[in-house]
Amino acid sequence: MRLVQLTVPTGKRETVLETLDERGIDYVVTDEDSNREYTAVVYFPLPSPAVEPVLDELGDVGVDEDAYTVVVDAETVVSRRFEALREEYEKGDVESDRISRQELETEAEELTPTFAVYAIMTIVSAVVATAGLFLDSPAVVVGSMVIAPLIGPALGASVGTVLDNEELFGQSLRYQVVGVVLAIVAAAVFAFVVRTTNIVPPSLNISGVAEIAERLAPDLLSLAIALGAGVAGIISIATGTGVALVGVMIAAALIPPAAAAGIAIAWGQPQAAVGATALVLVNVLSVNLAGLVTLWYAGYRPDNLFSVGEAEQRLRQRVVGLIVIVGVFALFLGMITYSSYAATSFEESAREEVEMLLEDEEFAQYQLLEFEVIMDDDYPFTSPERVIVTIGGPPGEPQPRFAERLHERINDHSDGQVSVELRYVSIVER
């Protein structure tokens, strides 16, 4: 529910009140004594879905943006006529659950902080995320998402496009570009300092840290996260529910991958940074794409009837452009996903070959103790480089024939040459 406070321009008092009467809206009128171009102030409660059509109709009768219109939350309205309004406007669909176009525009602008605050908070968030990745701590990484001020710019571009507010669109677009660059640069600088001061060993294998490795070789599931974040973000703003929590979800799609890219750059592995950077870009674009489509589906349109066609054309162009770019990145992520699938399949097949070989009567005295596949560092398309097989058996050297057959069988499942390392542990039974 909303309480609308409207200043009535001179000569429009009767027209405004007639409009409210025709719609069955209760109101209170007070005279305006500020010697300005207004004759009265009208207060009236409205169900949330009624705010936009009522304000649009009042605009049609002469209450333009030069007049002051304030819309605030109302906790409770006790009135039979108000209940009738609720029955008229609240239909239980998406459009009746959303806030007005005017409120949405204000909400998007308020969620975007000043540039100085935005830059500082983005840098701090990236640094905290980088520390969390080094610590391999999901809790710290989640904490970095909480302080990231990304929801405003991420959704402001969509709001600006749909409502034909090019100023809001341009500002949000600039913020997003600067935010991504700042996050990656801040993470790279912090990671370089951490490495050169030996806070972490300079020889640290970043691919061995789970929180880092999973973002250096992202898969298609990451795309679902970004699209979900965009839809949830718009719905949260449009309905006024859970904005802060959805902001964390959007940050989850952007900040940790940016931090991982910065770490790879600081470690002198630009190839490893490709996957993480691609993940950041596809997530940014996917959030914008999901936001655009969701807003239009929710029924948001520009306030000027004559600009609807132009805005719709602009929306279609941007949606098509985003779909094409996201599709290219999705293909790239799909290739990474296939590479990961192939590596997993190889590991399963290689293990089965070892187990089947040990079932042979010739090698019945041996037992498998440990099996490990070592991947190469060719991110984001990693592949098996070395297989380590540890077996146990009676004292003495293992049969040379076992190692030969093991190497042959394992390499039958690999496109390239994979080295096989056999470790033998003597087992003495007493």
Q: pTM surpassing 0.85?
A: no
More confidently predicted of 258 and 228: 258
pLDDT over 60 (residue 126): yes
More confidently predicted of 396 and 80: 396
Per-residue model confidence (pLDDT) at position 65 = 66
pLDDT per position as a tens digit, 297-329: 877 777 666 567 777 888 888 889 999 998 998
pLDDT over 60 (residue 293): yes
Q: Label residue 260 by pLDDT band (50, 70, 90).
A: very high
Mean pLDDT for the stretch of residues 104-108:
81
Domain ranges of the chain: 2-90, 104-303, 342-426
Q: Label residue 165 by pLDDT band (50, 70, 90).
A: confident
The reply to whether 2-90 and 342-426 are identical in fold is no
Does the domain at residues 2-90 carry the CATH identifier 1.10.1240.10? no
Query: How many percent of the chain have pLDDT more than 70?
Result: 92
Q: Label residue 191 by pLDDT band (50, 70, 90).
A: very high
The token pair that represents 103 in the structure block:
């409120």
pLDDT per position as a tens digit, 89-99: 776 555 556 77
The token pair that represents 23 in the structure block:
């719609």
Q: Would you mind telling me the total number of residues written for the chain in this entry?
A: 430
pLDDT over 60 (residue 190): yes
Per-residue model confidence (pLDDT) at position 56 = 81
pLDDT over 90 (residue 404): no
The token pair that represents 421 in the structure block:
């390392």
Q: Label residue 200 by pLDDT band (50, 70, 90).
A: confident
Report the CATH fold assignment for 342-426.
GMP Synthetase; Chain A, domain 3 (3.30.300)
Per-residue model confidence (pLDDT) at position 151 = 79
pLDDT per position as a tens digit, 14-73: 888 888 888 888 888 888 776 667 788 888 888 877 888 888 888 877 777 667 788 887
